[in-house]
Amino acid sequence: MVTFADGAAVSLGVGYARPPKYPTHGRLVRTEVLGEKGVLFLDEDHKENILYTEEGFPHAYVPGHGLEMVFLTSNASGNMALGDYWGPLGDETRSWIDHLATGRPCPHATAEQARQTLEVTSAIDRSARNRGSRFASPRGGDLGPGGRRTTGKYEACRYGGRAPSG
């Protein structure tokens, strides 16, 4: 749970725990935004295209791991074909390389934004490892663009009453 100075709270959850033969191709994304005056659900699970084969279908990211049933479009939005990346992942990668090579403006996150994201996720991880303890941001809670400031304290939600181990 991340609490902002204005009282807004964000509950984050990321989970990759699936049974070994779960038919995802590596990615299932679901986002829910609940506000005082409305709700937004973004369901990007991509479960509408299903393949079943007794011969097995190779997993997109785990070599040697085959699936009998697979949600075909549940892989990342960039696909390798003919030795090159295509789709949004390919476009993003090429624009980043162009930026590094030529200085051309890049629409991706800045180094400062990446640092801010790392600070928040590191604090959440430390909090989870310490059973929900609060941790202050090293920069006093300033988390970035738009003037949005946090209280400087983060706490991890416990899944199923247990803090993650590891």
Q: What are the domain boundaries of the chain? A: 79-108
Higher per-residue pLDDT: 105 or 28: 105
Residue 27's pLDDT is 66
Type of residue at 55 = E
Question: What kind and span of H or E run contains 129?
Answer: helix 111-129
**Max mean pLDDT range (25-34, 69-78, 87-96, 128-137):** 87-96
Higher per-residue pLDDT: 145 or 33: 33
The length of the chain is 166
Question: What kind and span of H or E run contains 66?
Answer: strand 66-71
Residue 98's alpha-carbon distances to 77, 104, 111, in angstroms, are 20, 6, 16
Q: Quick check: 71 and 25 in contact, CB under 8 A?
A: yes
Higher per-residue pLDDT: 20 or 103: 103
Mean pLDDT throughout 88-114? 83
pLDDT band at 101 (very low <50, low <70, confident <90, very high): very high
Residue 58's pLDDT is 79
Mean pLDDT of the chain: 70
Residue 102's pLDDT is 93
Question: Strand pairing partners for 142?
Answer: 149
